[in-house]
Amino acid sequence: GENVEQHPSTLSVQEGDSAVIKCTYSDSASNYFPWYKQELGKRPQLIIDIRSNVGEKKDQRIAVTLNKTAKHFSLHITETQPEDSAVYFCAASRGGGYQKVTFGTGTKLQVIP
């Protein structure tokens, strides 16, 4: 089955700096890669996703890149703000008729004011 690895497990940045979280996956058939943000005690919330037909997607301060050859995808947050502090999860899925989503182990991001 799919295995998703995520690094780093914790990340501290100064407010205004950029943060990068990296994930790798094992299933070459995976074609959908969402990123979720989870604040303490709250539900995971989708912040951005990317499908295999594109290599990069951007939404304001958040961007995701995908390298299907290397089976690697990354989340980039620019101009970080204290409210960006949370745990971020990457995930991978084959999509289509196979809806199982496999999550990474999470990255705890702390933005220091």
Partner 1 sequence: GAGVSQTPSNKVTEKGKYVELRCDPISGHTALYWYRQSLGQGPEFLIYFQGTGAADDSGLPNDRFFAVRPEGSVSTLKIQRTERGDSAVYLCASSLRQSGGGYQETQYFGPGTRLLVL
- Residue 54 binding partner 1, by CB under 8 A: no
d(CA 99, CA 102): 10
CB neighbour list of residue 92: distance below 8 Å, 6 or more residues apart: 2, 4, 23, 25, 27, 30, 32, 33, 101, 102
- Residue 45 binding partner 1, by CB under 8 A: yes
Beta carbon nearer to partner 1, 38 or 78: 38
Cα of first residue to Cα of last residue in the chain, in angstroms, is: 41
- Residue 93 binding partner 1, by CB under 8 A: yes
Q: Which of 29, 46, 54, 112 binds partner 1 (CB under 8 A)?
A: 46
Minimum gap (Å) between residue 65 Cβ and partner 1: 19
| Contact positions vs partner 1 (CB under 8 A) | 1, 6, 31-32, 34, 36, 42-46, 49, 51, 89, 91, 93-106
